[in-house]
């Protein structure tokens, strides 16, 4: 009897601690906070890997991509039922006012996490497309590309005047979370030819797009 | 003399009271007249100075011109006017800065543009509201201004008028800005420090100048002046409702920031613990720091993470070249190729 009471007390206090860790949140609010925390843990573990600061671990990275997929898409959206927003929640009313935009970002996150899983085996550099033998022009072009490690434009690409002034979009804008769904061209992305860091940064861009519109605070 | 007995038992001289009130009103009106007439513009003579569009466009991006004056969320045309800013002082609307001669700045000269950006003075001699962050731009060089002007004129003209600001009393009294400026405006600290690394100096130039981090990360007083005793201590009352955390060196270091992960965050938004910055900072990254060179992001991080009085460590070799390219405008610097 005493033992079962002890075990029960341990379980209850663990649950309580989890709720307290999220400022007293309960129910779906706690569930979605736990989901966000799980994704945050993945991002925190993968970022140094993507920066080349810690050894690249394909298995761990794949597991991380799978975790994000599990908490994105429909799995995320179902945890945001329309109801009065509890004080413990970080969600803002705009999330429900612009439900289509929110669910689009949740779906985009899921597909980008899947893309990340495809890009992870490539490591920190994109695979080089094979060039025909003895093609001097191609070899010269390859030499010009020294320093560019991604088939898709590098995050710190050299931007044109028109792009810097906002007159034209950047190379990756049309596939990113920053454009409206109807303007996005996801089909042009080939994650199998992408460096893992580039795929990873697309994921973070989607997180940022959602947080900036639908999460309270910063 | 007419007298009256006031409720507290004293005797009030009505005539003297009325005369005092009238005199007070006259003095106040005279004061307002003097302030309103008080010239705040310092003449410039840049004339037809030639500018470089690429340098100017990069500066326009790093200074936030493009992000503020373009309504990105609504798909607005480049530089044709920005999303309104709802602040404790009222609603500000960033104007159309395209070369349209009627609704933009197409009929301006380079001199007028330089006065506006570096001094915060309109073409009619009145002051701009500091929602336009000109108090951070006063150290831009003449070449910077010529470059910016050239870049601005590459943008297609858009004939769209700008809505007027909608400000609360007394902030809608524009003449009051001259008093505000006298009290709160200071020179940006961007002068290079000989003992510090190139990265630190470039970071100082950006953070205290073009990138104007303090505009959000320093709290403002009752009249909107930046709190000089709380530089970078954070601001919980930003337009749009988001919060700017402290970016003091001590606080940043205690939260696990390093030059590497901060430069990374200024491109990706990913924090040391794996969160992704939201609120207004997501927009700053997407529309600003994310489009800088890697060297400049590292420079910003170097400056912010070097404790006051300490000498900064130089950049790793492979990042130094791109950092140098971003510092072409600094006196005495060679521009290195990548």
How confident is the model over B262-313, as pLDDT tens digits? 999 999 999 999 999 998 999 999 999 999 999 999 999 999 999 998 888 6
Distance in angstroms (rounded) separating the CA atoms of residues B55 and B40: 29
**Which of A38, A166, A196, A217 to probe by mutation at the B interface, max B CB count within 10 Å?**
A166
pLDDT score, position A135: 56
A150 has a pLDDT exceeding 50? no
Q: How confident is the model at residue A133 (pLDDT cuts 50, 70, 90)?
A: low
With pLDDT > 90 as the criterion, what percentage of chain B qualifies?
64
Helix axes A58-71, A99-119, angle to 10 degrees: 160
Distance in angstroms (rounded) separating the CA atoms of residues B293 and A10: 52
Is the Cβ of B237 closer than 8 Å to some Cβ of chain A? no
The pLDDT tens digits of the residues spanning A13-32 come to 655 555 555 678 889 999 99
Distance in angstroms (rounded) separating the CA atoms of residues B90 and B224: 11
Is the Cβ of B154 closer than 8 Å to some Cβ of chain A? yes
Nearest to B191 by CA among B242, B229, B243, B139: B139
CB of A85 within 8 A of CB of A27?
A: no
The nearest CA of chain A is from the CA of B268 a distance in Å of: 6
B48 has a pLDDT exceeding 90? no
The answer for B 31-60 residues in CB contact with A (under 8 A) is 53-54, 57-58, 60
B8 has a pLDDT exceeding 60? no
Query: Considering only A3-12, A23-32, A73-82, A207-216, which range has the smallest mean pLDDT?
Result: A3-12
pLDDT score, position B43: 85
Tell me the backbone φ, ψ of residue A213, rounded to 5 degrees.
-100, -35
Query: Considering only A5-9, A137-141, A208-212, B198-202, which range has the smallest mean pLDDT?
Result: A137-141
Contact B274 A216 (CB under 8 A): no
The nearest CA of chain A is from the CA of B20 a distance in Å of: 51
pLDDT score, position A9: 62
- Kindly list the strands in the beta sheet with B166-167, ordered across the sheet, starting from the edge strand earlier in the chain: B85-87, B90-92, B166-167
With pLDDT > 70 as the criterion, what percentage of chain B qualifies?
89
Contact B291 A159 (CB under 8 A): yes
The nearest CA of chain B is from the CA of A29 a distance in Å of: 18
The pLDDT tens digits of the residues spanning A49-85 come to 999 999 999 999 999 999 999 999 999 999 999 988 9
Is the Cβ of B190 closer than 8 Å to some Cβ of chain A? no
pLDDT score, position A17: 56
């Amino acid at each position: 009897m005493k033992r079962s009471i002890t075990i029960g007390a341990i379980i209850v206090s663990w649950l309580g601690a989890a709720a307290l860790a999220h400022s007293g949140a309960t129910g779906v609010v706690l569930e979605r906070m736990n989901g966000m925390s799980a994704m945050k843990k993945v991002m925190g573990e993968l970022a140094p890997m993507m920066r080349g600061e810690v050894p690249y671990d394909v298995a761990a990275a794949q597991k991380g991509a799978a975790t994000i997929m599990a908490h994105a898409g429909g799995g995320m959206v179902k945890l945001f039922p329309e109801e009065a927003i509890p004080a413990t929640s970080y969600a803002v009313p705009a999330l429900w006012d612009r439900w289509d935009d929110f669910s689009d970002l949740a779906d985009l996150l899921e597909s980008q996490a899947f893309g990340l899983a495809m890009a992870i085996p490539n490591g920190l550099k994109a695979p080089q497309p094979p060039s025909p033998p003895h093609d001097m022009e191609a070899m010269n072009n390859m030499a010009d590309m020294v320093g560019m490690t991604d088939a898709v434009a590098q995050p710190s690409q050299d931007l044109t005047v028109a792009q810097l002034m906002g007159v034209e979009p950047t190379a990756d804008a049309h596939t990113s979370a920053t454009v409206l769904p109807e303007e996005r061209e996801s089909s042009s992305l080939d994650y199998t030819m992408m460096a893992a860091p580039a795929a990873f940064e697309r994921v973070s861009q989607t997180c940022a797009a959602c947080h900036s519109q639908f999460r309270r605070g910063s | 003399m007419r007298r009256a007995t006031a409720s507290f038992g004293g005797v009030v001289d009505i005539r003297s009271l009325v005369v005092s009130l009238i005199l007070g009103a006259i003095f106040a009106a005279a004061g307002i007249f003097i302030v309103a007439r008080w010239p705040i513009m310092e003449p410039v003579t840049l004339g037809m100075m030639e500018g470089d569009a690429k340098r100017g466009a990069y500066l326009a991006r790093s200074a936030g011109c493009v992000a503020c004056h373009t309504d990105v969320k609504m798909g607005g045309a480049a530089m044709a006017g920005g999303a309104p800013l709802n602040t404790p002082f009222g609603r500000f609307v960033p104007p159309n800065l395209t070369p349209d001669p009627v609704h933009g700045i197409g009929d301006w000269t380079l001199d007028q543009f330089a006065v506006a950006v570096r001094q915060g003075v309109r073409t009619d001699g009145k002051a701009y509201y500091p929602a336009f962050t000109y108090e951070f731009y006063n150290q831009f060089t003449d070449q910077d201004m010529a470059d910016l002007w050239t870049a601005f004129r590459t943008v297609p003209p858009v004939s769209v008028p700008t809505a007027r600001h909608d400000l609360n009393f007394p902030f809608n009294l524009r003449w009051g800005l001259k008093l505000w400026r006298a009290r709160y405006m200071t020179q940006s600290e961007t002068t290079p420090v000989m003992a510090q690394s190139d990265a630190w100096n470039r970071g100082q130039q950006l953070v205290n100048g073009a990138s104007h981090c303090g505009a959000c990360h320093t709290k403002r007083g009752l009249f909107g002046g930046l709190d000089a005793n709380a530089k970078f201590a954070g601001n919980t009352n930003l337009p749009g409702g988001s919060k700017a955390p402290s970016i003091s060196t001590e606080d940043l270091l205690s939260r696990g920031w390093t030059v590497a992960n901060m430069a990374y965050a200024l491109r990706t938004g990913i924090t040391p613990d794996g969160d992704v910055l939201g609120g207004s900072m997501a927009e700053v990254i997407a529309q600003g720091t994310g489009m800088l060179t890697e060297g400049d992001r590292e420079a910003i991080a170097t400056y912010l993470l070097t404790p006051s009085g300490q000498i900064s460590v130089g950049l790793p070799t492979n990042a130094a070249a791109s950092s140098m390219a971003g510092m072409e405008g600094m006196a005495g610097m060679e521009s290195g190729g990548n």
